[in-house]
Structure 1
């Protein structure tokens, strides 16, 4: 394993002072998978005060943030390295954090408390890999396996259930049989986990390459986190446009949507109101009128509960609310959407509709899908051409209208009226023509 020089230096300093030290956890797993580690965590036999003294004696900045659990943070060249004393954990009273920790001097004991075998591997240049639980073999076999008893591991920290699903989605690994069963058996423990923690894992899961398989197999686990999803599991869609029940359609749409957090959240929740909006006509065909508006309200409550940022919330809810609205190949219509949403969210809107359509019955929906792909190209061409579609693109501004006698809301109303004219006919976007039109408009309103 190729460690960063600064990490090597820290491990070496600890060893030179009579302690053992290793890189541990995700950085070792990533290295074994051929992925450059983002962060390097270090475990050591040195007690926290000993680690602190060694670092300070070598003029290394120390941040004391996790002393209760044995962690000292070293800052070297603007990079933080968490250095944690080997430990065993006490009871987990809240299914999340140990009530106490006991420091130990053996790396195997420290590795035995970790969540999954792939994360329970240590490394330093002198010893090589320390793999007491066959984590290397599990990585090679693409397996997520609990260290020891999976029920015990999940009862210690229920967030590990979501972590297992997230790893399966992001890494493309399977969850080993006993560990998988324990995920189902202990899923209700997730109700005690902080919403922010759940959301952090959920959004990574949704953005994983293997999300479709995980979301389908572990839907009952996701229903603990988002119980509003459960009715979609059995909600059929009897229509020539659909091949799948609502939940399967949702998941397949997520898997082909852009990997932006708010888009994948929007797609995951876009049809959540279909079960309660479902009606069936005399021919046995299902309809879901108003599911966009109702779904936006349900999704708002879910995302607020998960404590997402206002930016993510607003973008996701907007996309859910409009996802069945029409955008056409007419430049004036595309420009209307660009004015309403801005460039980025207009592309997001089109991309969501494309992902949604890809999960329909393409025997009937392929023409519409092809049109959406063409609309996306047209939108990019309109933006690149510099054709006017925003008020800021107009050849005149509010001051010009004020000089003609416009006041208050009249100014904004007239600018909106003018931009609609020029977006359909760019040749009209000259100061002379727009002032002439504005003079006609104000004359008509005062007569």
Structure 2
């Protein structure tokens, strides 16, 4: 068989092979090519040492990106390609990284150290596909299967547990039973993995179309969710415990990371706010604020970037607040949240209520969708809802003799008037309003 590989990768393979070395593309790029997909990047493995690689490619820019582990990045036509010497790892430290590596002369030994069969294939034009562990067959079956002893593989580097789910979500594959058993047995090892390594893995998993009920790692990474499953809701609006409701809302929302995280954490405050009245009905007063506080600690622990974190926290805080297709409400909220986040909030409200007692929330769902349509009309018709939409600005108000805080207060006043009546957004009418404000 012949794979259509990237020109720059072929240049590297040819240079190695023409100079007496072995070299192959390996891992994910081979997997994606066999699936008919364009690889995001290419990795090459060779029996040349890092020093020999840098010498051989001295006409190009080379970077010793991981020279301790045998990796050199070769840049051709502004395309970086990682080249790694055949190797095997020594004892792993804290289920994360090898204490040492040993460079090898055999591609077979190199492939045997890799995580899953679908990632343990190599290729060059001379040798064709090297597939020692039936990776191509597993690709055809849609199976994720570990190379060798699963327990050992996951103990070596526990992030492989999340990688298995990532491939499961990306390709809609299933994890083979023995591999899944080994994953579940070693799931606790995820607690030893740095959160910054975990974050990109769960982001890709959450943005796939995977059912959260298949994500066995959730209650390990987010222990509060386990408590949610023990928090029952004897309330006419709910038919399930908080955990079951949370999972439904997660599956209801579109596959966008900050939306998925919002649904995962939006009700965690119910664990701390549950009260039961004389009629044996459960209530969760102020749970959105408590959920926000608890979520902030979790997001900080995972080192979320500030922009994503603030989106999630704002959505959690407002996930159960009033919403209606009314002119003043919609325009004020568009101004407060911005277009993207206001529409996100509507999505959150819909996903949340679709996981409740349908008979009791059907009017809510209609109101949320009507609010969405109302907001779209406001934007389409370019109706004013921001200070920047006003026909006069702060400089003009200063020219009328106002200074300091008065300028900002006047702009807010004008905006409130224009939100109530868009026809007032006329320069002369606004000037008249300013004069009235002055009186």
TM tier, smaller:
over 0.9
Higher alpha-carbon deviation: 74-83 or 433-442: 433-442
Contact 1:170/1:211, CA 8 A, preserved across alignment: no
1:164 paired residue number: 164
Name the residue aligned to 2:224: 228
Partner of 2:253: 257
Partner of 1:244: 240
Deviation at 1:104, TM superposition (A): 1.1
Tell me, what secondary structure is at the counterpart of 2:347? helix
Once residues 315 and 28 of structure 2 are traced to their aligned partners in structure 1, the CA distance between those partners, rounded to angstroms, is 35
| Alpha-carbon distance between aligned partners in 2 of 1:138 and 1:244, rounded to the nearest angstrom | 38
Q: Displacement, 1:404? A: 4.2
Q: Partner of 2:31 in structure 1?
A: 29
Pair 1:124–1:358, CA change in 2 (3 A): farther
Deviation (angstroms), 1:137: 1.8
DSSP 3-state at the match of 1:83: strand
Q: Which moved more, 1:323-332 or 1:403-412?
A: 403-412
TM-score by length of 1: 0.93
Deviations 1:279-304 (A, max 9, x none): 23333333222111000000100000
How does the TM-score come out when normalised to structure 2?
A: 0.95
The answer (yes or no) to whether the contact 1:406–1:442 under 8 Å persists in 2 is: no
State whether structure 2 residue 327 is matched by structure 1 residue 331. yes
CA distance in 1, matches of 2:434, 2:314: 33
Residue 310, structure 1, aligned to residue 312, structure 2: no
| Paired residues of 1:404 and 1:439 also in contact (CA < 8 A) | no
How far apart are 1:305 and its partner, in Å? 0.4
In 2: Cα distance, 1:42 partner to 1:214 partner: 33
Looking at structure 1, the residues matched to 413 and 212 of structure 2 have their Cα atoms a distance apart, in angstroms, of: 46
Match of 1:386 among 382, 403, 428: 382
* Counterpart position of 2:348: 352
The secondary structure found in structure 1 opposite 2:129 is strand
Q: Secondary structure at the match of 2:97?
A: coil
1:126/1:364 CA distance change after superposition, 3 Å: farther
Q: Trace 1:110-189 onto structure 2 (pairs within 5 A).
A: 110-189=110-189
Offset at residue 331 of structure 1 (A) = 2.1
Bigger mean CA offset, 237-246 vs 197-206? 237-246
Contact 1:22 1:124 in 2 (8 A): yes
Alignment check: 8 A CA contact 1:203 1:265 kept: no
Does residue 47 (structure 1) correspond to residue 43 (structure 2)? The answer is: no
* Structure 2 residues not aligned, in runs of 5+: none
Q: CA deviation at 1:330?
A: 0.9
1:178-198 per-position Cα deviation (integer Å, ceiling 9, x unaligned): 221222221221122111001
Aligned length: 437
- RMSD of the alignment, in Å? 1.7
CA contact (8 A) 1:206 1:254 kept: no
**Match of 1:64?**
64
Shift of 1:403: 4.2
1:412 is matched with 408
> Which residue in 2 is equivalent to 1:10?
12
Q: 2:387 & 2:279 partners in 1: Cα distance?
A: 48
